[in-house]
Amino acid sequence: MRNARAETYDRTPRDVIATGNDYAPHQVLPAHSHRRGQLLYASTGVITTITSEGSWVVPPRRALWIPPGVLHEVHMGGPVSTRSAYVTPEAVQQAGLSSRCQVLSVSPLLHELLMEAVDLPAEYDLDGRDGRVMALLLEEIRRMPVLPLSTPLPREKRLAALCRSLLEQPSQEVKIDDMARRAGMSRRHFTRTFREETGMSFTAWRQQACLLSALTRLSNGEAITQVAVDLGYGNPSAFTAAFRRVLGMAPSRYLATPVG
């Protein structure tokens, strides 16, 4: 089902349904939720999804698992083409899929299954080839490895607002003392509360926010040198070293490795 709203088919008597959609550059889908769990696959382009718990960046040929009922907004980093699989809560539980949002690697097999699934009829034959395609798609989702492409958000309102603002314009030059002052906290109170709320130090969180922002910009063709400077790194080498340390490989290789 291409360029269709999932809600149109939500009551279809099938555990898994699939849709494909195209979005304009920088289009935003306001906060919404689905009765079904959603595997949101970035066939092309970069997607950023934000919930009350955090922000997830989905580069091309990766996917985000969104559990049933999770309120989320979606931001397109450029022109985006998606394929989504929607899974009933009952099938989610039976398959043992996560109750938390996660960015997943996408195997060549899962890629092909998603490409095929969007062209199947809404009420496909459960006992035929189409039913087997969808059953295998669900099994393949379950076995995909999780990728470290998220930035948690604090629950504390002052910190959450500051972090949302920083996600929009991340920079290594934002200092702990400045964040503490803006939050109306002492440095010690800020650092302790931030770690309790996010599970990370502010320094590690700031770096993660910068690197995930860089993924979006690099995927849209921006030069590494410009991205590194804008994010407050001293030079491209320092940026590349941080990227490799956190994500396991240099930016050029990461973006050239579309499937896992």
DSSP per position, 160-182 = HHHHHHHHHS--TT--HHHHHHH
CB 165 within 8 A of CB 212: no
The answer to whether 46 and 80 have CB atoms below 8 angstroms apart is: yes
Task: Classify the phi-psi angles of 89: left when phi > 0, otherwise alpha if psi is within -120 to 50, otherwise beta.
Answer: alpha
Kindly state the tokens that stand for 4. Answer: 């269709």
Which architecture characterizes domain 153-255 according to CATH?
Orthogonal Bundle (1.10)
- CATH architecture, range 6-147: Sandwich (2.60)
Half-sphere exposure of 101 (CA within 13 A, CB side): 25
Q: What is the dihedral of CA 162, 151, 64, 215, to 10 degrees?
A: 100
Q: Where in the chain is the domain with CATH 2.60.120.810?
A: 6-147
**What backbone torsions phi and psi does residue 26 show, to the nearest 5 degrees?**
65, 15
In the chain, which residues fall in CATH 1.10.10.60? Answer: 153-255
Pairing of the two strands 62-66 and 72-76: unpaired
Sheet holding 37-44, edge to edge: 16-23, 80-87, 37-44, 62-66, 102-105, 146-147
Residue whose pair of structure tokens reads 């320092």 in the numeric block: 238
List helix spans (H) across the chain. Answer: 89-95, 108-117, 129-142, 157-168, 176-183, 187-198, 202-219, 224-230, 236-247, 251-255
- pTM attached to this predicted model: 0.89
pLDDT per position in the chain (260 positions), as tens? 666 666 677 788 999 999 999 999 999 999 999 999 999 999 888 999 999 999 999 988 899 999 999 999 999 988 999 999 999 999 999 999 999 999 999 999 999 999 999 999 989 999 999 999 999 999 999 999 999 899 999 999 999 999 999 999 999 999 999 999 999 999 999 999 999 999 999 999 999 999 999 998 998 889 999 999 999 998 999 999 999 998 888 888 887 765 44
